């Protein structure tokens, strides 16, 4: 697929890759937007078109990630998008996968105890993902926004910077997307029959999508948010000397 630009027809881009529907939803864009370009819908929705283009292209192609563009965006804008993805995971994607797994476990006659393993494993993973998200929402993101505010308004800054730094986040930043591999292996290699084959296919497809989405989420944090915060921390320390 060609690289998306502000002149790209949004519907054409989605028809070529329907997964973009999940991404544009985080910008509060719903189906029924008509025959508009990316630039036109951004103008209508008051969205930074360059930011939108970068996010869409990074989902289509992992090698596309123009860091020099994203560094020009505010951390507030970046955090807002990351928070939207958190909301999507917790209130849409995770509940949907859980619903499919519940149907898989309850719809088999005779009952297949082996399917319960899938349910327990996914429930444990969801708790871990929720803990990961809550740490970011309650600790990391407020710190990131605070650093940007101090950087942009040094005259209003308190003396010094907090004991918590982005290095603490890097140390604690667990790779939750990698742990989906175990569940995918269970689904593909070790799931005992009998089971609903169509449901297993749907669950596996959703797990692959969630893994891709989490990888993209982490890539934005690791390649853009962390370096930018580190740069601001360094500048603030130098200015305090």
Rounded to two decimals, the pTM is 0.85
Judge whether 187 lies within some domain. yes
Judge whether 167 lies within some domain. yes
Longest dimension (CA), the chain: 72
Neighbours of 102 (CB within 10 A): 12
Judge whether 2 lies within some domain. no
For Cα atoms 179, 120, 190, give the angle at the middle one, nearest 5 degrees: 70
Residues 115 and 202 in one domain: yes
Residues 105 and 24 in one domain: no
Cα dihedral angle (189, 193, 197, 200), rounded to 10 degrees? -50
Judge whether 1 lies within some domain. no
For Cα atoms 205, 3, 58, give the angle at the middle one, nearest 5 degrees: 50
CA distance 147 to 54: 24
Domain end position, chosen among 64, 86, 105: 64
**Domain carrying residue 110:** 69-239
Enter the tokens of residue 8: 């790209």
Low-confidence ranges of the chain (pLDDT < 70): 1, 65-71, 107-110, 156-162, 241
Residues 171 and 211 in one domain: yes
Backbone region of residue 34 per phi and psi (left: phi > 0; alpha: psi in -120 to 50; beta: other values): left
Residues 41 and 74 in one domain: no
Judge whether 5 lies within some domain. no
For Cα atoms 9, 50, 31, give the angle at the middle one, nearest 5 degrees: 40
Residues 223 and 142 in one domain: yes
Percentage, residues of the chain above pLDDT 70: 90
Residues 43 and 91 in one domain: no
The three-state DSSP-derived secondary structure of 71-109 is CCCCHHHHHHHHHHHHHHHHHHHHHHHHHHHHHHHHCCC
Residues 142 and 209 in one domain: yes
66-120 per-position pLDDT tens digit: 666 666 778 998 999 999 999 999 999 999 999 999 998 886 556 777 788 888 8
Return the closest-CA partner of residue 142 out of 91, 83, 215. Answer: 83
Residues 118 and 138 in one domain: yes
Neighbours of 181 (CB within 10 A): 11
Residues 36 and 82 in one domain: no
pLDDT at res. 59 = 84
Judge whether 4 lies within some domain. no
- Count of domains forming the chain: 2
């Amino acid at each position: 697929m060609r690289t998306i630009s502000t002149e790209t027809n949004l519907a054409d881009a989605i028809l070529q890759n329907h997964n973009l529907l999940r991404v544009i939803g985080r910008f509060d864009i719903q189906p029924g937007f008509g025959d508009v370009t990316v630039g036109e819908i951004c103008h209508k929705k008051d969205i930074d078109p360059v930011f939108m283009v970068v996010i869409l292209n990074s989902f289509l192609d992992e090698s596309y990630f123009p860091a020099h563009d994203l560094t020009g965006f505010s951390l507030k804008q970046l955090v807002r998008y990351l928070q939207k993805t958190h909301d999507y995971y917790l209130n849409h994607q995770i509940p949907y996968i859980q619903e499919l797994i519940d149907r898989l476990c309850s719809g088999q006659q005779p009952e297949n105890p082996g399917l319960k393993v899938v349910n327990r494993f996914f429930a444990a993973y969801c708790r871990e993902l929720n803990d990961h998200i809550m740490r970011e929402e309650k600790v990391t993101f407020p710190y990131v926004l605070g650093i940007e505010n101090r950087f942009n308004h040094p005259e209003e800054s308190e003396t010094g910077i907090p004991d918590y730094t982005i290095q603490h986040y890097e140390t604690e930043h667990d790779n939750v997307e990698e742990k989906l591999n175990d569940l995918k292996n269970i689904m593909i290699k070790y799931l005992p029959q009998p089971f609903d084959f169509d449901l297993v296919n749907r669950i596996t497809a959703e797990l692959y999508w969630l893994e891709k989405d989490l990888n993209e989420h982490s890539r934005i944090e690791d390649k853009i948010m962390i370096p930018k915060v580190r740069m601001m921390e360094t500048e603030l320390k130098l200015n305090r000397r």
